[in-house]
Structures are given as structure tokens and as C-alpha cells.
A = this chain, B = another copy of it.
Amino acid sequence: MPFEPSVQAPFAVAVDLVVLAVHRSALRTLVVRRGESPDRGRWALPGGFVGAQEDLEAAAARELKEKTGLSVHVAGNGDGAHLEQLATYGDPGRDPRTRVVSVAHLVLVSGLGEGQESYTGVVRGSVLGDVAGGEPEVRWVPVDELLPGDSETHRRSAPSLLAFDHDRILAEGVDRARAKIEYSSLATSFCPPEFTVGELRRVYEAVWGVALDPRNFHRKVTGTPGFLVPTGGTTSRQGGRPAQLFRMGGATLLNPPMLRPEA
């Protein structure tokens, strides 16, 4: 019974990317306008087929590079983005062309800046939040606008705003990100190399869609040993009193976790 290569079916293997960033107090995801046959003209998650001799993560990193110009440092965060595998979707019929098994990946990029339009974005030639130029049409969309029962706005049942089963993939990617910043230092992947406690807090608030008490948040993140390292450079400007700058510490796990409100 085990392993009969003769009965193999012709599978195509692809990677799809849930690329998340925080911009203007909103958690946003990267979508591209489809130019090909199925669902042509519809928005979809960036993705593509895996090369014959290509590793899955390599394929995801390549696609990211092609679509956004971003490079990732897999396992370990440099200035690049965080990349991790999400889940695999292989329903027969999820792609009308052939049997496509797609390995979804989650990418978190530092798109903070928060300073309005000032941010010269991750997408090459375009600003975060705007539409790209000559290249394939690309947009950063607030996930609220794509996910139905997610929070507020109007209640839609399942309008399926994205091509294929990308709604579901996006939803699971967002869930993963929301869950993971609870107990890990992953939220710093949304921040530039040096950031303030307030900026980090605004990341949590954007990802979770809640308001956090600045004082308790400050106590929590500065009180966890190894989580944040002050860079000495004590200043920065965001509005009020200048804040201390921090860099991510060695601790990747947050224990006890950051508690997400709501019950």
C-alpha cells in the first residue's frame, strides 16, 4: 500500500503568500490583480508555481522578491521580513485548470512609519497603500475590508472578494499572526530595526484591532527580560515626549504571553 509512484496524479505545486504589514493604524495585506485566465482581473494573493528543483521556502522568497522587491531572512530576523509556512490547500477543484496544491506562507514586513504618506514603501516603485505603476497592479488593502465577520463595517456572509480560496488563506494567515504575537516577539517584525514602545504597541493594536493601555503595555514589554534592548539612542519623534529607542532582544518567546483583551 505505501508508496506506489505509478498511481501518481499530475499535481502542480504552488506557493501563495499572505504578506502583512501595519500602515496607518491598519493591518494590511498585499494583493495583486490577476492578469491570467481564471479569475482574470480579480484580486488575489501573490503566488506562483514552485520550480522543479526549488525548495518551498525558496519559492516563497522568490515570489516575494518578484512581487515586492523584499528579501527575507528565513529563520532569524535581519532587516528582511519574517517568513514562515502557513498551511497547504489542496482541494480538488480549487483551481479550475488542473489539480493545484498550494503551500501558503505568511510574511510579515516592517511597514510602520505611520507618518502618513512619508513612507516609501516596500513595493518597488510604489508607496504603501497606493497602486503600482507599470508593473503588475499591486495594492495594500486593510484586512478588515477583505475579511467578513472580522469586526465592524457591514456584515457580509461570504462575498469572496479574492480569487480561488484566497479569502480563507488570508483569514488563516491573519489568525496565525494574531495568535503568534501573543507569545512571541514576532510583532517586532512589523517594526523597523529600532522602534519605540509606543510604536510596538500600535502594532499590537492594529493587528488585534483593540486599544491597549499604554502604561500596562510599557510595563509588560520592558519588564520581560531579554525582550527589548535599549539602543541608548534615547530619542525619536512621534508627537509628544521623546521616547526611548529599542531593538529586539534575544528572547523570541514571550512568557507569560501578552494577553489579548476581549472575552
Contact = CB atoms under 8 A, between A and B. Distances in A.
Interface of A: 1-5, 7-14, 32, 34-36, 44, 46-56, 66-67, 85, 87-92, 97-99, 101, 103, 136
A246 to B, nearest CB: 24
B103 A88 contact: yes
B13 A101 contact: yes
B53 A92 contact: yes
B90 A32 contact: no
A88 B102 CA distance: 10
Contact of A136 (B1, B14, B99): B1
A12 B2 contact: no
A9 B88 contact: no
30 contacts: A1-B48, A1-B136, A2-B32, A2-B35, A2-B44, A3-B36, A4-B48, A5-B49, A5-B97, A7-B49, A8-B49, A8-B98, A9-B13, A9-B50, A9-B52, A9-B53, A10-B10, A11-B12, A11-B50, A13-B13, A50-B90, A52-B92, A52-B99, A53-B92, A53-B99, A55-B90, A55-B92, A56-B88, A56-B89, A90-B103
Contacts of A85: 87-88
A108 to B, nearest CB: 18
A67 B1 CA distance: 9
Question: Which 9 pairs between the two chains have the least Cβ-Cβ distance?
Answer: A9-B52, A56-B90, A88-B88, A11-B13, A8-B12, A11-B11, A53-B92, A3-B36, A88-B103
Contact of A66 (B1, B12, B88, B92): B1
Given A13-B11, A90-B103, A98 B5 contact: yes
Contacts of A32: 2
A120 to B, nearest CB: 23
Nearest to A4: B49
A13 B49 contact: no
A83 to B, nearest CB: 14
Contacts of A4: 48-49
